[in-house]
Amino acid sequence: MKILFIIPGSGDSFYCGNCFRDNLQAAALRKAGHDVCIMPLYLPLKHESFQGDTPLFFPATTYYVAQKFFKRRRMPVWLERFTASSPMLKIASSMSGTTSAEGLEDMTLSMITGDNPAFKEQVKRLLDWIVNQEQPDVIHLSSTLLLGVAKEIKGRLQIPIVCSVQDEEVWIDSLNNRDASNAWQGIKDNVQHINRFVTSSIFYKNIVRERIPEIKDADVVYPGINREAYASDTYPVHPTIGFFYRMAKENGLDILADAFVKLKKKGTINHLKLKIGGGFTAKDRPFLKQIRKTLSPYMGDVDISDSYSLDDHAAFYKSITVLSVPITFDEGVGLYLCEAFAAGRPAVEPDTGSFREIVGDAGLIYKKNNSDMLADALERLLADENLLQQCRENASLLSRKRYNDSVLSQELINIYHNVIL
């Protein structure tokens, strides 16, 4: 089967949950022998495992300028070439990663509704490319934030479209009230152009029902990890807590840092270490400075990585004893959990969002997402060897049964077959 993935690029400088989800889906389908073509929007995809197979469409710098200054007339060719140049896209990549739509309102609405001339100009190039190539059997859109593209595809091509839906509210709800209302209405108006929606947890399926009732149903397809790459029978000599996600305040790194300091002061877990990875953006640097200050009395037991690459993932989980990402909003799935379980590492997470569903018996869930409760839960797990071993076994079992790439690829193919027939 030939599948075209249309996905936004993030700049590859940090662990982007939805970007990594798209990567896992494409990799699983390729491993199963299917023909997968990846079409990047906004920013190029750099990693060799996830590079775009098409030209870059809707280049971020060009599209931003077009929406800002050329809504009713064509941008000059020289300016378009300049804004789409590698140096300009490199600058945009270095500034990417915000979870706020401030300043990007016009771009956001145009991609959802597909209603302005700047959008029409860019989407025509995308459609021309599809028409002039061997057309796919199915198209998989990364997000409902791209439904304007789906509307144009269905208006010109008779290709079934599957669309992932997850975390859109984080972006849309950062808009002002008027634009947020228009964005939600645009999504509701354009769901008709999608054959099937896919999400990553039962928890988020219920969010979809609440926020977008026009989506009558969505298939739950859990993330799938290449377990062979993550499997490890060895553990670090000293107990090591791991954090692997974008190093941002909303992801709770400050809560974990405070909990680690409390455990070190208490001294009940001998030789306790903390390892932090997942990358960051320029916007996160002041926050990281605060984190380093919090951890300064124990920096000899702390490892903070200043770089990020997809190549880092498997090695990171093999180097820790337990994972904790005490995220401060309701997470739709938590791919870092699925990765940790593939390596046989349990997790300690707050009782929010999908965590109870995703973690199950592969770790501990604590109530009230604060450093005191997190420290208590981590201490309970690390001080009880029998409990730790049981959670390790449960993590590996859950990974084999639910969060593996073979299950993921088969479930996606079943969905694709259903929309093609």
The values of phi and psi at residue 382, to 5°, are -75, -20
Mean pLDDT lowest for which of 67-71, 313-317, 366-370, 382-386? 67-71
- Locus of tokens 């459609």: 127
- Looking at the chain, the whole-number percentage of residues with pLDDT higher than 90 is 72
Token readout for 118 is 């700047």
Structure tokens at 356: 């109870």
- Report in angstroms the alpha-carbon separations of 265 from 296, 303, 343: 13, 18, 29
- Mean pLDDT lowest for which of 25-34, 60-69, 277-286, 326-335? 60-69
pLDDT tier at 166, thresholds 50, 70, 90: confident
Residue 42, C-beta contacts closer than 8 angstroms, at least 6 positions apart: 8, 9, 56, 58, 59, 60, 63, 92
Identify the pLDDT of residue 46.
67
342 vs 168, more confident: 342
Q: How confident is the model at residue 86 (pLDDT cuts 50, 70, 90)?
A: confident
181: which residues sit within 8 A by CB, 6+ positions away? none
Max avg pLDDT among 214-218, 308-312, 360-364: 360-364
Domains of the chain: 2-224+405-420 (3.40.50.2000), 227-401 (3.40.50.2000)
* Whole-Å CA distances, 120 to 72, 138, 263: 11, 22, 56
Comparing CA positions, the residue from 307, 297, 355 lying closest to residue 331 is 355
Query: Could you tell me how many residues make up the chain?
Result: 421
* pLDDT bucket at 157, cuts 50 / 70 / 90: very high
Q: Tell me the mean pLDDT in the region 232-239.
A: 93
- pLDDT category of residue 321 using cuts at 50, 70 and 90: very high
- Nearest in space to 380 (alpha carbons), one of 348, 404, 405: 348
Q: What percent of the chain lies above the pLDDT cut of 70?
A: 94
In this predicted structure, what is the pLDDT of residue 54? 86
Give the whole-angstrom CA distance, residue 415 versus residue 199: 12
Is the distance from CB of 288 to CB of 310 less than 8 angstroms? no
pLDDT for position 101: 59
Show Cβ contacts of residue 259 under 8 Å, excluding neighbours closer than 6 positions. Answer: 324, 326, 371, 372, 374, 375, 378
Q: Which has the higher per-residue pLDDT, 214 or 42?
A: 214
Residue partners of 182: CB distance under 8 A and separation at least 6 = 109, 113
Instruction: Determine the pLDDT at residue 47.
Output: 59
pLDDT-derived band at 8, boundaries 50, 70, 90: confident
Which of 309, 273, 295 has its CA nearest to residue 49?
309
Going by the DSSP 8-state scheme, the letter that residue 360 receives in this structure is: T
Q: What is the structure's pLDDT at 375?
A: 98
- C-alpha angle 223/227/230, rounded to 5°? 110
- Report whether 276 contacts 336 (CB < 8 A): no
pLDDT at 89 over 80: no
Give the pLDDT confidence score for residue 14 in this predicted structure. 73
The mean pLDDT of the chain is 91
Q: Residue 83: which pLDDT band, with cuts at 50, 70 and 90?
A: confident
pLDDT value of position 325: 98
For 150, the token pair is 């789906």
Question: 74: which DSSP letter?
Answer: P
Give 350 or 59, the one with higher predicted confidence: 350
The answer to whether the CB of 362 falls within 8 A of the CB of 323 is: no
